[in-house]
């Protein structure tokens, strides 16, 4: 297929980004409002508590609705301002960080949501760190301005120091909490007034090119106007002017202020985002760099979700299209299995609502119905054997032994565990000496989710026994003889992961250190991709 102008236009239209934050910063609410402005939904349901009747569109799992948190990454697509927007709403909870890390491999930019009262929180730091490792362009949205919070300049200092970002405010609040009157949009040079009576329907926007204009005093009062003039002057003195090239290289992060729950400041964020955010970016593989404008299809699976519709027992692999055009009912090479595979009903997403898609372009996320062929990191091409990088499994931090509560339903338990582990949100280790199954996760909440889903989706019940394991380390054998000695001595601590890779389950930091010193014929790794 020759590269033509319409193909290039389709690539240029795409904006694929992730939204990341600490839990409760308002990330899922912001996602809802972006969808609302994009016309993808007619009414927004904020994630506030389990009392609400309408749950947020992006939280489609029952356990998410009960707890009011996002535990699975949702994918949503809509058109806005002539652009095709693909949002990946990620779990904010630290126990689901690994799912978020992998999702960040599939996006071209991120929006970080920060609560104006709480400022930069621990989980935000970790996620921004992962984004910065890849020089991903970052926009910051400071949320909940209708509540009392930190001073704007103090917040900017905190973002710079704690997240290591060079910031550039593109909007600025007029007051905060009880005194909150609106936002001055530095990017567009206009003032958006906040109506305290309730949700913003049509924003009250006044174009103010010159802040010295007396109109400003009439709109917000002389004192607030003087304060705003001083603040904007300080911003111009202290912070660099916006430079799109610096933003695209991850060197400069625009900052917007608003209140997602009130629809306020969200449109300004979205309008700027579609102008400045990057179209699909090149992707690194072990063999070469893949460029989006290449005419042959490439893509990789970054997430797997079992039972998106529990009635139909379906399992969906999320494919990020990296180059070429993905076409329905076309034979593609499944690189790891080295066999041809075609898809009769690939889907596009609006959270849990799905529609069959005939074509998808670089930057798009396609759902592939899967009967167990895919694992995270799998590549699909038109014949070229390439291996995508940077989608590892990390060493878990908590471990539990799985105890089957109903021996007659062993098959259901085995199937459920296998499918849920394929989603990549937890890891299964099978011990070499007794075949016991051990689940490893980043955080404790994952165990509840797995237990709940096993029961409700597979009809299998299990309990756990806590294990005192310090680290799971993947084993690289450098010397067979030395490995045999190690195996004989440590057999009870050796397991295999779902890919049959050998793993050493170290009981303590001391035993890990001793192993590394005593057995030089093996090398231990803290992530599976080595």
CATH number at residue 311: 3.40.50.300
Tally of structural domains, the chain: 3
Assign 9 a pLDDT band (cuts: 50, 70, 90). very high
Q: 60 and 308 in contact (C-beta within 8 Å)?
A: yes
- Which of 151-165, 301-315, 398-412, 463-477 has the weakest average pLDDT? 301-315
Q: What are 128-131's contacts with CB under 8 Å, separation 24+?
A: 128/20, 128/163, 128/164, 128/165, 130/100, 130/101, 130/104, 131/20, 131/104, 131/250
Same domain, 199 and 87: yes
Statement to judge: residues 351 and 426 lie in one domain = no
**Please, what is the average pLDDT of the chain?**
82
Residues 218 and 236 in one domain: yes
Shared-domain flag, residues 132 and 59: yes
Q: Are 336 and 379 in contact (CB under 8 A)?
A: yes
* Contact criterion met (CB below 8 Å) for 529 and 484: no
Q: What's the average model confidence in pLDDT over 101-108? A: 84
Both 140 and 86 in one domain: the answer is: yes
Same structural domain, 516 and 459: yes
Instruction: Specify the CATH number for the domain of residue 511.
Output: 3.30.70.3280
**Which pLDDT score is estimated for 63?**
44
Could you give phi then psi for residue 323, rounded to 5 degrees? Answer: -155, 165
Q: Say if residue 305 is in the same domain as residue 433.
A: no
Task: State the Cα–Cα distance between residues 447 and 437, nearest whole angstrom.
Answer: 14
From 319, 352, 381, the end of a domain falls on 381
Query: Which residue would you say has higher pLDDT here, 129 or 329?
Result: 329
Per-residue pLDDT tens digits for 14-47: 999 988 887 777 777 887 788 777 665 544 443 3
Convert the pLDDT of each residue in 504-525 to its tens digit: 999 999 999 999 999 999 999 9
Given 381, 408, 424, the domain boundary residue is: 381
Ranking 47-51, 221-225, 302-306, 354-358 by mean pLDDT, the lowest is 47-51
Residue 479 domain-assigned (yes or no)? yes
Is there a domain that residue 172 lies in? yes
In a domain, 200, yes or no: yes
Condensed to tens digits (0 to 9), the pLDDT of residues 384-428 reads: 999 887 666 677 878 999 999 998 899 999 988 888 887 766 889
pLDDT of 200 above 50: no
Residues 377 and 423 in one domain: no
- Contacts within 8 Å (CB) and 24+ apart, 36-42: 36/263, 37/80, 37/266, 37/267, 37/270, 38/78, 38/79, 38/80, 38/85, 38/270, 39/78, 39/79, 39/80, 40/76, 40/77, 40/78, 40/350, 41/350
Could you tell me which residues come within 8 angstroms of residue 240 by beta carbon, excluding any fewer than 6 positions away? 166, 168, 246, 252
Distances, alpha carbon 439 to alpha carbons 135, 151, 417, 492, in Å: 33, 44, 9, 16
Q: Given pLDDT bands bounded at 50, 70 and 90, which one contains residue 206?
A: low
For residue 49, the model assigns a pLDDT of 35
Question: Is 269 within 8 Å of 186 (Cβ atoms)?
Answer: no
The length of the chain, given as a count of residues: 530
Across the range 379-384, mean pLDDT stands at 94
Inside any domain, residue 530: no
Looking at residue 442, its pLDDT comes to 72
What is the pLDDT confidence band of residue 88, given thresholds at 50, 70 and 90? confident
Residue 244 and residue 289 in one domain: no
Lowest mean pLDDT among 3-7, 41-45, 485-489: 41-45
β partners of residue 379: 300
For range 360-383, the mean pLDDT: 88
Q: Are residues 46 and 173 in the same domain?
A: yes
Q: What is the pLDDT of residues 243-269, one digit of tens each?
A: 999 999 999 999 999 888 888 888 888
Angle, helix 152-163 to helix 122-133, in steps of 10 degrees: 60
Give SS3 for 454.
helix
pLDDT at 260: 85
**Looking at 106-110, 164-168, 246-250, 417-421, which range is the least confident one?**
417-421
Q: Determine the Cα–Cα distance for residues 282 and 500; give it in Å rounded to an integer.
A: 31
Report the C-alpha gap between 245 and 250 in whole angstroms: 9
Considering 251, 276, 301, which residue would you say is the last residue of a domain?
276
Residue 251 lies inside a defined structural domain of this protein? yes
Alpha-carbon distance 249 to 138, whole Å?
10
**In this structure, what token pair is assigned to residue 417?**
């565990």
Which of the four pLDDT bands, split at 50, 70 and 90, describes residue 48?
Answer: very low
Q: Answer whether residue 104 is part of any domain.
A: yes
Asked whether residue 389 is assigned to any structural domain, the reply reads no
Percentage of the residues of the chain whose pLDDT score is greater than 90? 41
Residue-level pLDDT at 339: 93
Q: Mean pLDDT lowest for which of 71-75, 272-276, 460-464?
A: 71-75
> In terms of domains, do 293 and 403 share one?
no
Is residue 393 in some structural domain? Answer: no
Residues 306 and 435 in one domain: no
**pLDDT value of position 360:** 92
Residue 148 CA to residue 158 CA, distance in Å, equals 17
Q: Which domain holds residue 317?
A: 283-381
């Amino acid at each position: 297929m020759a590269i033509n102008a319409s193909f290039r236009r389709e690539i240029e239209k795409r904006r694929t980004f992730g939204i990341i934050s600490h839990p409760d910063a308002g990330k899922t609410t912001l996602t809802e409002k972006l969808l609302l402005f994009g016309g993808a939904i007619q009414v927004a349901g904020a994630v506030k508590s389990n009392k609400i009747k309408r749950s947020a569109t992006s939280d489609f799992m029952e356990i998410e609705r009960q707890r009011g948190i996002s535990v699975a990454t949702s994918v949503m697509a809509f058109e806005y301002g002539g652009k095709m927007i693909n949002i990946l709403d990620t779990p904010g909870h630290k126990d689901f960080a690994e799912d978020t890390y992998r999702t960040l491999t599939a996006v071209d930019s991120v929006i970080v949501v920060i609560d104006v009262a709480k400022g930069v929180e621990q989980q935000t730091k970790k996620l921004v760190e992962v984004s910065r490792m890849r020089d991903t362009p970052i926009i910051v949205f400071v949320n909940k301005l209708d509540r009392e919070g930190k001073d704007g300049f103090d917040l900017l200092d905190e973002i710079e120091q704690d997240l290591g970002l060079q910031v550039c405010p593109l909007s600025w609040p007029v007051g905060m909490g009880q005194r909150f009157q609106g936002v001055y949009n530095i990017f567009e040079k206009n003032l958006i007034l906040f109506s305290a009576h309730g949700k913003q329907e049509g924003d009250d926007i006044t174009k103010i090119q010159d802040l010295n204009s007396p109109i400003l005093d009439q709109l917000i009062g002389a004192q607030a106007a003087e304060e705003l003039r001083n603040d904007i002057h300080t911003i111009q003195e202290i912070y660099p002017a916006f430079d799109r090239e610096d933003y695209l290289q991850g060197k400069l992060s625009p900052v917007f202020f608003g209140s997602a729950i009130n629809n306020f400041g969200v449109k300004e964020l979205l309008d700027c985002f579609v102008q400045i955010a990057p179209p699909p970016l090149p992707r690194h593989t072990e063999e070469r760099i893949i460029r989006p404008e290449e005419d042959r299809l490439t893509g990789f699976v970054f997430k797997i979700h079992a039972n998106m519709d529990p009635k139909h027992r379906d399992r969906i692999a999320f494919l990020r299209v990296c180059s070429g055009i993905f076409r329905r009912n076309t034979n593609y090479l499944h690189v790891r299995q080295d066999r041809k595979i075609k898809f009769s009903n690939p889907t596009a997403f609006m959270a849990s609502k799905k529609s069959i898609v005939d074509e998808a372009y670089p930057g798009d996320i396609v759902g592939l119905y899967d009967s167990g062929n895919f694992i995270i990191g799998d590549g699909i091409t038109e014949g070229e054997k390439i291996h995508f990088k940077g989608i590892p499994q990390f060493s878990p931090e908590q471990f539990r032994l799985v105890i089957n509560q109903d021996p007659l339903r062993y098959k259901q338990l085995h199937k459920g565990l296998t499918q849920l582990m394929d989603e990549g949100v937890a890891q299964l280790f099978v011990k070499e000496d007794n075949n016991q199954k051990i689940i490893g996760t980043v955080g404790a909440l994952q165990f509840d989710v797995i237990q709940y889903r096993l029961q409700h989706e597979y009809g299998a019940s299990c309990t756990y026994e806590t294990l005192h394991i310090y680290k799971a380390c993947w084993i690289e054998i450098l010397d067979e003889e030395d490995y045999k000695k190690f195996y004989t001595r440590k057999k009870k601590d050796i397991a295999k992961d779902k890919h049959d890779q050998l793993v050493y389950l170290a009981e303590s930091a001391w035993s890990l250190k001793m192993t590394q010193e005593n057995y030089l014929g093996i090398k231990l790794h803290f992530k599976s991709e080595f």
